[in-house]
Structure formats: structure tokens, C-alpha cells
A = this chain, B = another copy of it.
Amino acid sequence: MAPDALHIVGTSPNRLDAREKVTGRTRYTTDLTLSAMVHAKVWRSPLPHARVDGIDTSAALAAPGVLAVLTAADLTNCDPYYGTAYKDQPILAGERIRYAGEPVAVVIAETERQATAALHLLDVSLSEYPAVLDTAAALAGDAPILHEHMRPAGHFRDLSHVRHVANTNICHHQTFSRGDIQAGFAEADELFEDTFSVPPIYHYAMEPHAVLAKYEQDSVTVWTATQHPFPVRKELAEIFHLPLAAVQVIVPPVGGAYGSKCYTKIEPLAVACARHVQRAVRLALTVSEACHTVTRHGVTCRVKTGVRRDGTITARQFDIILNTGAYADVGPRVATRASFVAPGPYRIAHVQADCRVVYTNTVPAGAFRGYGIPQVTWAGESQIDRIADHLGIDAMELRQRNLLHAGEEFSPGDLPMDADLPEGLRQTAETIDWPASPGPRRGKGIACAFKDGGIPHSVSTAVVRVHADGSATVFTGSIEHGQGSDTVLAQVASETLGIPLSQISLTSPDTSLTPYDQGTSASRTTTLMGRAVYEACIDARNQLLDMAAGLLNVPQADVSIQQGILIAGHERLTFAEAISQYFGLPGGEVIGKGEWQPSRASGSVGGSAVFWEIGMGGAEVEVDEETGAVHVLRYVSMADVGQAIHQQQCEAQDEGGAMQGLGSTLFEALISEDGQLLNPNLIDYRIPTFSDLPASFSTVLLQHANGPGPYGAKGVGESGMFCVAPAIGNAIARATGVRFYDLPLTPERIWRALRQARR
């Protein structure tokens, strides 16, 4: 796989979708129309926890343009529940409502306006139950239990036995341990114990969730903005008792996702509507509705760390509580990832992590760029600095003493460290002139984190068709949601087949047309689907070599391919010539297929990492003590991409992650009162803009072409987000002498803390 001379891999060609997008031509799901399409609007619960006593639909049904009103009672001949970890989420709340904003009924009308108007005519009688609005309340002994009966979805092998704690609101209790935590603490000279918190936040993809659905003659077609067309297909097939071949999930270009479009969301509801009215149905959420669909887990994290005076970490214990809201979504999976890597990329003999995923009467929390790592890293890496300060060891030096070296095992049996962490940290620090003192009210901070990237048991499959003129079409089910995967996958095909990018076209994801892919998440696409595309092209190459060998009457071994030309001695054949001579007519084609499943490739299904996704950050800040405002003067983000397929996009991915991290560090939070979201819109929920961009903002990419992806690539995209909060928090602590434990680091919070400290 090591590249000899690369032609297009590593360069930065124009994105395939650039022109369409900048000219406004791209048609997202909401831009599509189907013949005789009708519109669905959702009536959502005003109460966080309640019983539905009755729904009077008569007035709504009599309203102009209204075709039907769908309630839970209409969900017959199907499984009315869905969910990725547990089948715990009702398509529509029947007897019981578990969060404010939960879908209870749907009005289907000829126009969206008519559907919206009729919503107000629904008469829903509710009896309020006492609600548990945070994890503390949910864990209290006398707390009402949100879910009595749990039904595992059996989707993830690593969740094959989901650890639900009966008769509690603990949806899932994940534990990891190595060595003997108590012995580890006993070996330590000093113990540090701190508790950190991170509020729930929203992904804020520019495109809210939207689905078009058709249900005709026992077959379903949905156009949906999802990151997981194949798992969505599977769940729809299960819900509506259909064969997979009868369920078609088509994914138009997606306007951002960041995890908010992972797995099944509103697809079952849209399909239920289409089945009910036997018309094509459009269900497009508003931003506020999307905020009431999925969020990022709010986290409370207690960290206890034992160290020797020389800075050696002897033991680390994490107690993590994830608020997963009213339904599990992928909460249990976030728990497995977050608790596994919470201790950080360090050499620690004794580790224990407990992660409880807790149900509350709030909006369900699910996947979000980083998958829990940013939250636990805020805790772990803030504490590392506190330890360094206390021991009087330079924060960079302390980390260097404990960082794993390449080849060292983080966890027995897992993939050895595949990145040069000390080098990465050195470059990160160097970029912000660490440790040079930046002057008054200024401070610098660094942080390190990592994640087991790629989902080792997941499969990606690709097909490439080389046409009779030598041009090619690549079939992949990967989702282009702005990250640039289409261009990257086309580059891999171009490089591997040796034909120009202009000769390659990509099919858009469609479960009926593109081969199986687990999904577009966990920074897996470039590595896993990239590898599948690579293997498919190699398969096609081998067939072309065979053709040429036969046509030129030489052994296959004597034929080589250089830049799309088949060469044997002095003989030369273009792909087009080989194909037309082979078939004896200007037709026919070569079909190559590639499948990649890391666990199978590596001959084992053990281990959790396909590659280690490294994230480091370095920040320099200035704090205005009068206002509490934090100005990030410099920020550097470090990632190990193995081999950049598209150099510019690797940087853009990493910088995008860092900017998103800047938002959740400095001001993003979903604020609730009595279980009601107060800021589900762009006015009240602030996200980073260019004015928040640090004056100096850069990315360091390690490239040793040592990844499992094509040409040595590794995934990137999530890691930029890991370290922003602790790097900035550590910088603020150095600038002000005050340490913060709770995000976001708003001016008000900082101003109050400084005022407190200066008293």
C-alpha cells in the first residue's frame, strides 16, 4: 500500500461538489418534490413527562387541505418503536410522553401551511407526571423510572449485552479497568480528585432533518438526510416487516451533520405517514424541531489521578455520567468510546472507568463529532495541568513523560500506538512558542487526546465500473455531508486506476444502487471506504492486466499499468483499447469490487481501534478581567492523518473541528427551564462565526503514510474538537490563576469567578 510516486493523492484538486454548491444548484432533500407529494407537520408535547389521556382530531381533520392525522393508535402492522441501542423510542408517543417536544401526532395536508395551521386545532388531553430534568434527579432513589422494559436493538456487537440497570434510570453502565486501581493510588505520592461538567449542546448543521417518503405496493422509498442509509434501511425493514430489497434509502447531498444525522431519526415517522395516506409525504423539520430531536450529551465527570513526584501517572479513575435524555439513541455506544479513552494517550498501569448513561425527561442525546471524547478530555486534560502546576513540572514536560510511544499498547490486545505522540506534542507546543511567557493577562495552554478511530467491525463495500472508453464510475454508499468525501474517494480511484479525476464519476448513496457501507461516522470514510474503493480499483486493474496479457499473449506478470496505460515490453494498450479488443466491439466494461472490514483484514475481531485518531491543541489567550471576555489569540490543532489524500481538506476538517470546539468551549449550551428548551434557534443559541476566529489559527498534520487506509491514510475530522476546551481552559488558568471546571467559559462565568478570587 505504500505509495511510490503519487499523482493526485496528497494534492488539493477542486471539490467535485464545489461548483454545484457555490452556485446554489445543489438540491438538498428539502429541495426535492415528488409527484402528488403532501406535507406532514408534527404536534409536539408541551410537557416533559405526561400521560396522553386523549386526542381529539376532528377539528384538525375538518381543516382545509388536511388528509389525515396520524397518532400512535394508527401505527398498526408495524413495530411502533425504534432505536439504535435499545428499541425504546416510540415513533409517536402513545400513552406516555417522556420529553417536552416529543412527537405525539402528525397532521398530513396538501400544503405545509395547511398542515401547520391544523396543528393548532388538535385537542390533546395530557396529565402531567413528575419529571426528572437532570441526571442527579434521575439517579435519586425515589426518582420516577422512565423505562420499565428494555429491548436491545442488537445492532452493535460491542453492545451485544447492553448493561441496563433494572429499576433505575441507568440506561447503560459501562466499565473498563486495567491493573488494580487501589494499588495504583497506593503507589502514588499525590492524589488529585476533581469534578468537571459539560452542558448539552446542539450540532447546528445548517440543514435540519428532512425526509421524503413513498410507500407503494409493499416497497418503501425514502429520500433522507442521514449519515447511515444502510442502518436506516435495516430499521425501516424491521419496523414495517419488509425485506431489505424492498426498502430504498436515497441520500441527497447533506447540509452538514456532525452526528445529528446518525442512525434512524424521523424516517419511520415519515414512512408511517406515507403508508397511512398512500401518497408521497414530505416531513421537513424546523431548526427548533431539530433541536428537539437530538443533542450532545451533557456530562458530569469526576476524575481521580495518582502521580509520583516525578510526574509519572500511576493510576486514573473516571466516573462519568452521561445525560442521554428521554431515549437511549447511541448513548450506550458513546459511553463505551468515551470511557475507554478517557484516561488519555498515556502510559498508565492502573485504570478504572465507570460510565453511567442516564435517562432524563429531556431531549434525547446522541452522536456528536468526537463521540464523548471532548467532554471527558475537558476533565482529564484540565486536571493534568492542575497536577503539573502543583508538582511544579512544565505541563508539556509532564505530558511528555507519560505519553505513549509509537508501538506501545494503550490497552492489552488493542492496536499499538500508531502515531508519534511526543513529536506531535513537540510541534504543537512549538507552534505557540511554548513555554515563552506571553505577558500580563495572557496565558498558554496545551492538551492531548485520542480516540479509537474507524469502528473495527464495520464493513465498507465499493464497486468500480471501468467503461469502454476507459472512464470509470465509482459506487459508494458514503455520505457527502460537506466533509469532502466524494472528492477524496474519487482521488483514490483516480490514483489507483491511473486515470484523471475528470474521467471519474461517483454515484450518490442509494441503498438499492450503491453497495453496503456501515455509515459515515467515526472518521471512517477515508480509511474504510477509501480502502474499499482502493480494493475495487485493484480488482479492476487485475482484470485489465489479464485482458491485456491475453490480447498481447504474454504472462500477466509481464504487464504493468502506468497512468492508465497497459504496458508489456514495447506494446501499449489504453484501457479503452484493451476493453474493445477483448470484447471485439466498442462495448462491454470491467467491474471491480472491493470490500473492507478491518477486523477481518487484521484477522481478528478484537481491539477497538482501526487507527488511533490523535488530537492535540495549543492555545494562547488574553482575558479581559473587566468583562471576563476571553480572546483566543493563537490556536494550533494537531492531527495525524497518515497520508493526506486531499491536503487542503484535511486541514479544513481539522480546523472546522477546532472552530466547533471553540463554540462549545466559550459559549454554546442548550439552556432549559422546567424541561423546556429556551434557545433552540440561531438568535439565542450562538455558534462560532469568523469574528471568533483566533488571529493566528493553524493546523499541524503528521504524515508518515502509516495508516490502514489507502496510501497510508488515517481518518480525521473529529480530533480537532478534542482538545480545544482544556487547551483554552489551561491557558485561562495560566492567564488568571483561576481554574474552571464547568463549560462553557462565558464572560459572565469568568467575570464572577475572577471577582470571587480577587476578593
Query: Interface residues, chain A, CB within 8 Å of chain B?
Result: 19-20, 25, 27, 33, 35, 154-157, 216-217, 219, 230-231, 234, 237, 243-246, 457-459, 461, 463, 465, 467-473, 475, 502-505, 507, 512-513, 515-516, 518, 583-589, 591, 593, 595, 597, 599-600, 605
Task: Tell me the bound Cα distance from A710 to B469 in angstroms.
Answer: 30
Chain B nearest CB: distance from A146 CB in Å?
A: 27
Can you name the residue of chain B whose Cβ is closest to the Cβ of A518? Answer: B587
Can you name the residue of chain B whose Cβ is closest to the Cβ of A230? Answer: B587
Q: Chain B residues with Cβ under 8 A from A157's Cβ?
A: 584-585
Q: What are 28 A-B pairs at a CB distance below 8 A?
A: A25-B216, A157-B584, A219-B505, A230-B587, A234-B586, A234-B587, A243-B469, A243-B470, A243-B502, A244-B467, A244-B469, A245-B467, A245-B473, A245-B503, A246-B471, A457-B584, A459-B585, A459-B588, A461-B589, A463-B463, A465-B516, A475-B513, A513-B513, A516-B587, A516-B588, A516-B589, A584-B599, A588-B597
Whether A591 pairs with B593 at a CB distance below 8 angstroms is: yes
Task: Tell me the bound Cα distance from A599 to B584 in angstroms.
Answer: 10
Can you name the residue of chain B whose Cβ is closest to the Cβ of A155? Answer: B586
Task: Tell me the bound Cα distance from A599 to B582 in angstroms.
Answer: 11
Task: Tell me the bound Cα distance from A503 to B469 in angstroms.
Answer: 36
Q: Chain B residues with Cβ under 8 A from A458's Cβ?
A: 585, 587
Partner of A245, one of B27, B505, B587: B505
Chain B nearest CB: distance from A15 CB in Å?
A: 13
Chain B nearest CB: distance from A348 CB in Å?
A: 30
Task: Tell me the bound Cα distance from A515 to B591 in angstroms.
Answer: 8
Chain B nearest CB: distance from A365 CB in Å?
A: 24
Chain B nearest CB: distance from A220 CB in Å?
A: 11
Q: Chain B residues with Cβ under 8 A from A516's Cβ?
A: 465, 467-468, 587-589
Task: Tell me the bound Cα distance from A216 to B429 in angstroms.
Answer: 48
Whether B459 pairs with A587 at a CB distance below 8 angstroms is: yes
Q: Chain B residues with Cβ under 8 A from A463's Cβ?
A: 463, 591
Whether A505 pairs with B512 at a CB distance below 8 angstroms is: yes
Task: Tell me the bound Cα distance from A19 to B217 in angstroms.
Answer: 9
Whether B473 pairs with A512 at a CB distance below 8 angstroms is: yes
User: Which among A20, A505, A507 has the greatest number of chain B C-beta atoms within 10 A?
Assistant: A505
Can you name the residue of chain B whose Cβ is closest to the Cβ of A158? Answer: B585
Task: Tell me the bound Cα distance from A316 to B277 in angstroms.
Answer: 68
Can you name the residue of chain B whose Cβ is closest to the Cβ of A245? Answer: B471
Can you name the residue of chain B whose Cβ is closest to the Cβ of A459? Answer: B588
Chain B nearest CB: distance from A171 CB in Å?
A: 21
Partner of A234, one of B33, B461, B468: B468
Q: Chain B residues with Cβ under 8 A from A472's Cβ?
A: 245
Whether B513 pairs with A507 at a CB distance below 8 angstroms is: yes
Chain B nearest CB: distance from A232 CB in Å?
A: 12
Q: Chain B residues with Cβ under 8 A from A470's Cβ?
A: 243
Whether B217 pairs with A586 at a CB distance below 8 angstroms is: no
Chain B nearest CB: distance from A253 CB in Å?
A: 14
Q: Chain B residues with Cβ under 8 A from A593's Cβ?
A: 591, 593
Given A459-B585, A516-B588, 18 more A-B residue pairs with CB atoms under 8 Å apart are A156-B585, A219-B505, A230-B587, A234-B586, A243-B470, A244-B468, A245-B467, A245-B471, A246-B471, A457-B584, A457-B585, A459-B588, A465-B516, A513-B513, A516-B587, A518-B585, A518-B587, A583-B597
Task: Tell me the bound Cα distance from A231 to B154 in angstroms.
Answer: 47
Q: Chain B residues with Cβ under 8 A from A595's Cβ?
A: 588, 591
Chain B nearest CB: distance from A616 CB in Å?
A: 32
Whether B503 pairs with A243 at a CB distance below 8 angstroms is: yes
Chain B nearest CB: distance from A222 CB in Å?
A: 15
User: Which among A156, A463, A518, A586 has the greatest number of chain B C-beta atoms within 10 A?
Assistant: A586
Q: Chain B residues with Cβ under 8 A from A504's Cβ?
A: 245
Can you name the residue of chain B whose Cβ is closest to the Cβ of A599? Answer: B584
Q: Chain B residues with Cβ under 8 A from A583's Cβ?
A: 457, 459, 597, 600
Task: Tell me the bound Cα distance from A243 to B591 in angstroms.
Answer: 17
Q: Which 8 A-B pairs have the closest CB atoms?
A: A243-B471, A245-B471, A244-B467, A245-B505, A516-B589, A459-B588, A244-B469, A513-B513
Q: A245-B472, A246-B505 are in contact. Are A587 and B231 (CB under 8 A)?
A: yes
User: Which among A19, A35, A583 has the greatest number of chain B C-beta atoms within 10 A?
Assistant: A583
Chain B nearest CB: distance from A214 CB in Å?
A: 11
Whether B154 pairs with A588 at a CB distance below 8 angstroms is: no
Q: Chain B residues with Cβ under 8 A from A27's Cβ?
A: 35
Can you name the residue of chain B whose Cβ is closest to the Cβ of A519? Answer: B587
Task: Tell me the bound Cα distance from A89 to B230 in angstroms.
Answer: 47
Task: Tell me the bound Cα distance from A505 to B463 in angstroms.
Answer: 19
Can you name the residue of chain B whose Cβ is closest to the Cβ of A576? Answer: B244
Task: Tell me the bound Cα distance from A155 to B587 in angstroms.
Answer: 9
Whether B461 pairs with A591 at a CB distance below 8 angstroms is: yes
Q: Chain B residues with Cβ under 8 A from A246's Cβ?
A: 471, 505
Chain B nearest CB: distance from A267 CB in Å?
A: 17
Can you name the residue of chain B whose Cβ is closest to the Cβ of A472? Answer: B245
Q: Chain B residues with Cβ under 8 A from A467's Cβ?
A: 243-245, 516
Q: Chain B residues with Cβ under 8 A from A513's Cβ?
A: 475, 507, 513
